[in-house]
Amino acid sequence: MEIKFERYHLQSDFYSSLNGFQLVSVPTEVRIDPLTKRRSRIITWSLPTKGKFDFSQMVEESKGCIFCPENVLQKTPKFIKEIAPEGRISIGKAVGFPNLFPAGTYGSVVVLCEEHFLNLHQFTVQIYEEGFSVAIEIIRKTMNYDPNARFWQICQNFLLPGGSSILHPHLQVIGDPIPTNEMEYLIDACTSYSERKRSLYWSDLVQTEEKFGERYIATFGKVHWFVSFAPIGFNEICAVVEGHSSLTTLDQEEISSLARGIVSTLRYYYDKDLNSFNFAIYSISEEDSHQLLLRIISRTPIQPYYLNDWTSFEVLQSELTTNIYPEVLCREIRPYFS
Ligand SMILES: [Zn+2]
């Protein structure tokens, strides 16, 4: 079943002070997400980059944190014995434990590596393979203890613009018996689509994107990578894992495929002078119409006189903006996935 894409072309005409007061026309595009019907606004201008930020002072002042190797097994909390009698879960260099400051029923942290700080091009596939393996082990053990906790996210907030006060690279793993807003939007829209079309939305979207090719990036095993038609954040890249709705059923090859796509995306972000990002994996058990989804977006880079990327458009109009055409982003990022 082919997915239909809707868009509006808007145009602003004025005499430009940058151009000898000649008449200029600046286009804007409003796109409607085919699943959620949410609108995204694609602006066609952006501020110039300020280059790469020097993190050396920030790293020096914050090193020896609670996640650094000399502290992580001494100062972090332990799981209750009913979930993980070993207290903490380690695979390779990744270490998982409960979040001291949780935001729900089951909140955990997975420290990704021994290094206190990594630039975006320094993250490796192995780092994410180990981190995801620990996160999935936490989810499996927690669901054995509490099967009602079927709504899970693995997410990463990297650096202050991404919402993290701790520099040391880490994931958050959060599970609840109720969905987040975004999970509920996804479930409702995918269920409604399945009932109307007798087909899975994400399978249809992947097939459509593959056919047109202009936003389709790559397939690694069962993991399909593409750029959203109507992004909800800057430089948004998505992945869908065929045949899975929950992280708990992934095998090692699928974990590696997710890790490889994230590292490819971060290398692209680094080359664009970006340094802060968020991603989320939406994992929902027992929802036949849902497929495991990952979204990664860049944030305004940390720099002197930091500029927040959420303006009144996003905060008060619920209308998300981005500053690159998804088709251009796709062309630029594709070589990083090869
Ligand atoms: Zn540290």
Q: Can you give the pLDDT at residue 300? A: 93
Q: How far is the CA of 220 from the centre of ligand 1 (A)?
A: 32
Q: How far is the CA of 234 from the centre of ligand 1 (A)?
A: 28
Q: How far is the CA of 89 from the centre of ligand 1 (A)?
A: 18
Q: How far is the CA of 121 from the centre of ligand 1 (A)?
A: 18
Q: What is the mean pLDDT of residues 242-246?
A: 96
CATH class of residue range 56-337? alpha beta
What average pLDDT is seen over the chain?
A: 96
At 94 the three-state DSSP class reads strand
pLDDT confidence tier of residue 305, bands split at 50, 70 and 90: confident
Q: How far is the CA of 69 from the centre of ligand 1 (A)?
A: 7
Q: Can you give the pLDDT at residue 262? A: 98
d(CA 229, CA 33) in angstroms, rounded, equals 7
User: In this structure, are residues 216 and 105 in contact, taking their beta carbons and an 8 Å threshold?
Assistant: no
Domain extent listing, the chain: 6-43, 56-337
Q: What is the mean pLDDT of residues 309-332?
A: 92
- Write the secondary structure of 149-201 as one string of H (helix), E (strand) and C (coil): CCEEEEEEEECHHHCCCCCCCEEEEEEECCCCHHHHHHHHHHHHHHHHHCCCH
Q: What is the mean pLDDT of residues 251-259?
A: 97
Q: How far is the CA of 149 from the centre of ligand 1 (A)?
A: 30
pLDDT confidence tier of residue 205, bands split at 50, 70 and 90: very high
Looking at per-residue pLDDT, the higher value among 106 and 46 belongs to 106
- Give the strand pairing for 39-43 and 320-322: parallel
Q: How far is the CA of 254 from the centre of ligand 1 (A)?
A: 29
Q: How far is the CA of 165 from the centre of ligand 1 (A)?
A: 12
Q: How far is the CA of 65 from the centre of ligand 1 (A)?
A: 4
Q: How far is the CA of 9 from the centre of ligand 1 (A)?
A: 47
Q: How far is the CA of 81 from the centre of ligand 1 (A)?
A: 27
Query: What percentage of the chain reaches a pLDDT higher than 90?
Result: 91
| Backbone torsion region of residue 149, taken as left when φ is above 0, otherwise alpha when ψ lies between -120 and 50, otherwise beta | beta
| Chain segment 50-84, per-residue pLDDT in tens | 899 999 999 999 999 999 999 999 999 999 999 99
Q: How far is the CA of 44 from the centre of ligand 1 (A)?
A: 39
**H helix runs in 34-158, sequence order:** 56-62, 72-75, 125-145
User: In this structure, are residues 119 and 65 in contact, taking their beta carbons and an 8 Å threshold?
Assistant: no
Q: Is the pLDDT of residue 48 over 90?
A: no
Q: Is the pLDDT of residue 123 over 90?
A: yes
Length of the chain, please? Answer: 338
d(CA 230, CA 107) in angstroms, rounded, equals 30
Q: Can you give the pLDDT at residue 144? A: 97
Q: How far is the CA of 251 from the centre of ligand 1 (A)?
A: 30
| Chain segment 19-43, per-residue pLDDT in tens | 999 999 999 999 999 999 999 999 9
Q: Can you give the pLDDT at residue 321? A: 87
pLDDT confidence tier of residue 153, bands split at 50, 70 and 90: very high
Query: What percentage of the chain reaches a pLDDT higher than 70?
Result: 100
Model pTM?
0.96
d(CA 204, CA 266) in angstroms, rounded, equals 27
Q: Can you give the pLDDT at residue 49? A: 87
Q: How far is the CA of 134 from the centre of ligand 1 (A)?
A: 19
Q: Is the pLDDT of residue 336 over 90?
A: yes
d(CA 133, CA 236) in angstroms, rounded, equals 24
